[in-house]
Amino acid sequence: MYKFFIIALLLVGSSVRAEGDWFESFKKTATDKDLYHFLYAMPKGGDLHNHLSGAGFPEWWLELALAQEKRGYIYYTKIKINNCAGYGGNEFGGNPYLLYFKNIQESTYKKLSACEQSEYVRLQDMSAEQKAGWLNSLKLDSAHEGRDEFFQTHWQRLNELYMNHYVLAEILVRNMQAFGREGLMYLEIDCSPVGMRPDGSLIDAEEVYRYYKERLQQKDAVESGVTVKFQYALLRFAPNAEERLAQMYAFVDAHRDMYVAIDMVGREDNDKGHPLRFLPTLRKLRAQYPGIDLSIHAGEVDEPNKHIRNTLLLGANRIGHGVNLLTDPDTYLLMRHSNYMVEVNLISNLLLEYVDDYSKHPFPELLRTDVPVALSTDDRGMWDSNLTDEFFVAVKEFNLSWSELQTLGLNSLKYGFMNDELKTKLVHDYQKKMDKFAQQFQKGSQRVLSSKPPMRGFICNHYELCSTP
């Protein structure tokens, strides 16, 4: 890792360190819409914190679910609650009964009682009003919604939809295409090799892996220009999490061409997933498997605690979120000028109420005291956002310089878990693109700002960009 940093610094040279006076002048005169257009056109490095099952926009989910009928998949969604006897739901687990727009396969539907079946409708048969409700149910876009809505209903509504690897593969490719239009070069995404057949039986992980690999080799994926690597996601508070972790290590070790790391995910304020639970298991696994990286969610909580420190003790090289890092001064000092990076998700942290407003976010303190950070999108389909939105928030709220923008882009590549050869190439290509972009902008800014980037819900609602001339 140290050797690579030296190479990267040589590639970057003085251009990253030099302050962009032209960018400061642009910020002083640019409208918010001008700034957004600029940031959309700006080359971007990588998105290192992205959950595939949370990266699909609601309209994508619906369109792709309906398209699966040709493969034998029919989906039903819950539109009524008839208080059926013996429903067997678990309101505080993964199968809540009192939840509208929960999606199930036809194989599951056929096993329900007649009363429960009367609560569901095929996706194909939804009324216009039901369709609007279905689409809205997968977005976190209302003031009364927050982390409980997200953690306890969004995933439970998707339910058996995100067990369809054909749907997820298409969501992945659509993300690649959309990110490619934003100028992204590298995507490191949580993608677990799971799938379900129309009859409800599970598909072997090897078969799912082969399908993803073949899908990424098709023309539309390749032409996106985005390089993709996978992480295997572990739900940290699951009762069998240690057993699953051992299985994941074995799978990642056998499929290093596509899988580069394991990511521990899940609501951190569920104490059953506390970091030190996994220390004995990880030490045993490291004695067996060489060089498997860890990226672990930590510090995504309200109260001060030692979770980030304990996560580093587990062997993680990257910290997901790290919102409460400043409440642990010893760990904060350890991470300054270090090889440990914080994956910053500004929109996620606001919508899930880990910060009340951006003035409370630790991001600028971390960035400007040399804790390595990079911006990422987390569950962008549920936020109705993109990576440009993250950069817009960062520049708008924290007055980022051109040098800082480049640092964020470089970090998002330097701290990726890809091999050194690919990393060196991507860093080199990124710097060339950024230099060319800056030169072209300074020669004629209208060329850059003439594009009309798509603006989605978050940026439209939070900054009202879509209503401005």
Catalytically annotated residues? 300
How many Cα atoms sit within 13 Å of 357 on the Cβ side?
4
AA identity, residue 221:
A
Instruction: Please state, in angstroms and rounded to a whole number, the distance separating the CA atoms of residues 216 and 171.
Output: 12
Of residues 142, 158, 152, the one with CA closest to residue 60: 158
The three-class DSSP label of residue 79 is coil
The three-class DSSP label of residue 419 is coil
What is the DSSP annotation of 89-145? Answer: -BTTTTB-SS-TT-EEEHHHHTTS-HHHHTTEEEGGG--HHHHHHHHHTT---STT-
What is the DSSP annotation of 293-357? Answer: EEEEEES-SSS--SHHHHHHHHT-SEEEE-TTGGG-HHHHHHHTTSS-EEEE-HHHHHHTTSSSS
- Burial profile 101-140: b = 16 or more Cβ within 10 angstroms, e = fewer: bbbbbbbbbeebeeebeebbbebeebeeebeeebbebbbb
